[in-house]
Structure 1
Amino acid sequence: MDGFKLYVTNTSTIPPNGYLCYEDTDPGLPNITQIIPCNQLGKYVIYYDTKGSLHGGDRYGPIIELCYVAINGCKNSHWGSKCENVCADNCMERNCYPENGSCVWGCNPKYCLKDVCNKDTAVCTEGCKKRRTGSYCNEYNVASDGLVSLNPSSDPPASLANDGNEKSCSKTKGVNVTVQVDLMKISIGKGMYVTFGEHTKKEGHHIVYASNNSNSWNIGTVLYNRQSLPTEIKFNAVFRYLTYVLYRDQGQPSELELCEIGIYGCPPTYYGPLCNTSCPKNCRGPCDLENGICKFGCSNGWTGVECKQACQPGGYGKDCLEKCSRNCIIFPCNHVTGGCTGGCSDGWQGFNCFEKCPHGQFGRNCSQFCERCFLGMCDPVNGLCDNTSVCSPGYIYGAYCNISCDDGYFGNNCTRLCNCATGNCSAFTGNCPGGCAKGWRGEACDEVTVLLAEESSQAGAIAGSVAVVLIVLITVAALIVYKCRFISTKGKENNTEKTQSIEHQHYDDVRMEDVFTYQDLMIRQTSNEYDQINTAFVHH
C-alpha cells in the first residue's frame, strides 16, 4: 500500500480524473486500516497505487488485499451525523460537505443583501434582500411588509428592525422592553429569526407571544418561554401580532439593541419546506405550510379539503351556504358570486336579482316606468296600477293608464277642452305651444281675459236696458187695454151674467198672454246677446 492515493470522481477513468482526497507520502509502510476524511461530491471512490515494491533487485507491482470498505456520506443537499440537515440555499447548486454543511463550491449570494455571503458557511454577512430572512436568507419573511414597534419608543426608529440590513439597529431601554411585529393580516408563521446588537443585555426572562390583538397580546399563545433567546426559534402558529418581551429580575431596566427580526413563512399561495409547492388554487388565504390543507377554508363557491368541489346547483358563496335567487331567468346562478348570468325576471334587478324594482318602475330589468299611474305606483312585475280608478293627467282612467287623451282634450281623464289659438294642447298640462285662443290665458289657457269679461258685462247691460224698455211698453199697453175694457163694461149695465163672465175671462187671457210674452222676450233677448258675444270670442 505504500504510496497509494484515494480519489473521488464522477467517472471511472483510469488513471483517475477527479478530486485527490489522500496520498500516502510518509516514509515506511502505511497502516493496513485507514480512516480518511474526504468531504467531496462524487460518484466513484477510487483507490489507486502504481508504486509497488523492490525486493532483491526485482520490482513487484502493488498488491492489496481488501477486507472491508465503507463510504460514509449523505445524499445530495444534506449533511450532518444522520444527514438530517439540509444544505444552505446559498451553497452553489446546494452542495455542502456532509460533515459541517459548509459549501463545496462556495456560496450563491442571490438573496443576500449587497450580494455578500461567506464562501464557506454561505451565511449572508450583511443581511437579506426584501422578503427574505434567516442566516442564509433562505426563508420567506412574512414580516417584511409589517410594522415593528418598540416599547419604550426607540431611537433610531424600530422600522430599521425589518429593513433586511443587519448593520442598522434600533435601541431602547426600560424596565420591561417589548417588541411587537404587526403582520397586517392573519398569517401562518413557522419560526422567528432575530439578531441583536452588542449593547443588548440578554440576562432575564424571554417570552414570545402570538395573538390577533395588539393590546391583549399577553393572553395570546406562548410560542417561547426561556431564560435565553437564541437567534432562531421554530414554531407553527396562526396569528397577526408577534410580541417579544424581555423581563429582568427585581425591576432592573433592560437595554435592547434590535438589528433584525424576521418571521418564517411562505408566500400566500405556496407551502412546503422550500415554499415551492403551490397551495390549492381555491384556498381562502394561505394553506398549511406543511401539508397544503386550506386552514382558512375555501374561496367562495368551493368546498372540500382541497377546495376542488364546486357548490351543488342552487348554492353559492362561502361554504356554499348562500342560495341562488329564484328570480334568475336561468337557474342555477353562478356558484361563486351568485350572479344571474341570464338576467332577472320581470320586476327584479341587481347582480343577484334579489332587489325589487324601485318605486315607479317595472318590467324586465326595471326598464319601464309607471309615471302614468296615480303617484307613479304600479305592480313591479306587470305594471298594473295600484289605483286603477284614477290616472295621471293626460290619460283616460284604466287599469294600466296607457291610453292617452284624444287631440283637443287634456287633464284628468281627458275631460277638459283645449283653448289653443292653433294646434293641439299638451294632453298633460293643457299648455298650448302656439299660445291661447283670443279671450283665454294661463298655463292651460283656462282663464278668461279681462277684455272678455268687460265685453260680457257690457252686453249684459245693453240686454238689461232693452228688457226694461220692453217692460215699460208692455205695462203701458196693458193699462190702456184695461182702461178701455173697463169703460166699455161700465156703459153696459144691463148685460147678462154670462156676458160678464166671458168678458172677465177674456181679460184674464190677455193678461196672461202679456206676461208670457214678456218673460219670453226677456229670456231670449238675454240669452241670444250673451251667446253671440261668447261665440264671437271663441271663433276669433
Structure 2
Amino acid sequence: MTFTSEKAVDGCINQNFGNKCCIHTQANPSLLEAWWQINLGGPVVIELVKIYNRNDVAKERSSRFGGFQIYLSNTTDWRNGDNCHTDTTSTWQSMDLAPSIQSCTGNTIYLTIYVDRRPNKRFDWYSDKAILELCEVEIYACVKGNYGSFCDNTCPVNCKDGVCDQHTGECEDCVDGYHGRKCDQRCSDHCKGNVCNQGNGTCRGCALGYFGSTCEQTCPSNCNVNLCVQANGVCIGCKQGFFGNKCNSRCSLQCKDNTCIQSSGQCEECEPGYHGVKCDRICPSTCGKKSCIQISGWCTGCASGYFGSTCDQTCPSNCNDNLCVQANGVCIGCKQGFFGNTCNSRCPQQCKDNICIQSYGQCEECNSGFYGHACLDMCGYCQDENCDKDTGTCLSPCENGLTGDKCDIKVVYIPGVEDDFNVAAVGIGVGLGVVVIVLVIVIIVLARRLHSRTNTDTTRSATTANISMSSIGQELPGDSDGQYEVIGAMASKQITTKISPDEGSYEKLGPGDKDVPHLYETT
C-alpha cells in the first residue's frame, strides 16, 4: 500500500485511514522528525489553512499530530522560513484533528507541516516517533495582486509587492511615498527616503534641515550641517561660535577657535592669555607666552626672571640669563663667579675665569700656579707654574736645583774621591782664596781696635797682633810638591732637602752658586 504525499491534496477529506485518502510518513525505522511540503506554484497570498488529519483511534492519532508546526517560505529551505503556527494543545483529549489555521496569512511560495519528537518534548503524551498522517490540506489564497471571494479583485496599485487583504483589499504595506489603508495618500515631501508610517503618515525620519512628526518644520539656522532632532528640533551640534539647544547663543570670543560646549557654553580651550570656564579671565602677565591652565589659572611656564605657580616671584639675581625653575626658584645655571641652588655663593678666588660647578662650587679649572677642588693649593716650583689640577703634579720641568713630582725637593751636591782631581784642585783654590779674604778682614778689624785702644789709654802698652797662617791652617807636608791635597774628602753624595713652595727665606741657587765645603792644609 502506498501513502504518497499527493494524497494530501487530492480533494479527499475522509479522515479514515482505511479509505486510502491519507498519507503516512515512515514508521520503521523510527524517526525523530517528519515533514510534508507543498509548492504553491508561485507567490500567493494565503488567507486560511485547513488541515484534515487521520482521526480513527483518536488517542494515538492525537499523540502523533500534537505539537505540529507550519512554516511559510519562498524556498525549499523551510527551516529558515516563517514559523507561522505551532500547536500548543495541552491534552490529547482537547486535540483538534481538523483545525483551521488563520495565523498563516501572507505572501509565500512554499508551505511546510512539521512534527518534532527530539528530546525535551513539550508534553509527555506526545508520541515517541515522528509520524505525519495527513488526509487533506486545504490552502485558501489568491495569486499575488488579487483579492475577494473568487480572487477576482485587484489590490490597490500602491500596495507593496501587490499584496492586500483577501477580503477587504487593504494593503499589508505601502510602496515608498504613500500611506493609508489602501496606500492612496502621499507621505510628506520632507520624510527621509520618502518613507512614512502606513497608518498615520508620520515620517520615519526627516530630510536634512527638517523636524516634526511629518517633517514640516525647519531646523534652527545655527545647527551644525543643518541637523536637528526630529521630535523637538534640538540641534545635533552647533556651528562654530554658537551654543545652546537651538544654537542661538554665542561662545566667548576668547574660546580657542571660537568653539565651546553646546550644552553649557564652556570653552573647550582658551586663546593664549586667558583662562576660566568661559575664558573670560586674563592670565598673569609674567606667564611665559602669557599662557596658563584654563581652570586654575596657573602658568604653564614663566617669563624670564620669574617663578611660582602664577609666576609672581622673581628669580635670584645671580641666575644665568635670569632663568630659574618654575616650581622652586632654583637657578638654571649661575652667572660667572657664583654657585649654589640660588647662586648666592661665590666661586673660589683661583678658579680659572672665575667659573665653578653650580651644585658644589668645585672649580672646573684653576688659575696658573694653583690646584685642588677649590684651587687653594699652590703648585711647586714647576716651570711656567703648570701643574695637574687634581694632584698638583708638575706638568712641566722643575726649576733649577729642585726635584720631585711637585718640584718641592731642594738638591745639594757634595763631590767625592771619585770626582776628577782637577775639580778638587779648583775647589781647594777657591777655598784658599776665601780664607785669605777672611784673614785680611780680621787683620783690618784688629788693627782698628788696637789703634782705638792706643788713643784712649796712652799709658797702656802697645799690643802687637801676631797673626800667622799657622793660626788658621796647617802647613802642608814637605813632600806635597806645592800641590794642594784634598784632606778628608767624603764619598760623593747628593743631599736633598724638602722645602715648602711658599718658603721665601732661602736663596735660589744657580748651577755656579753651589757651595763646596773643603778641609785643606796651607803653607
- The TM-score normalised by the length of structure 1 is 0.30
- The TM-score normalised by the length of structure 2 is 0.31
Name which one, 1 or 2, has greater alpha-carbon Rg. Answer: 2
Higher share in helix: 1
Higher share in strand: 1
Larger RCO of the pair (alpha carbons < 8 Å, separation 6+)? 2
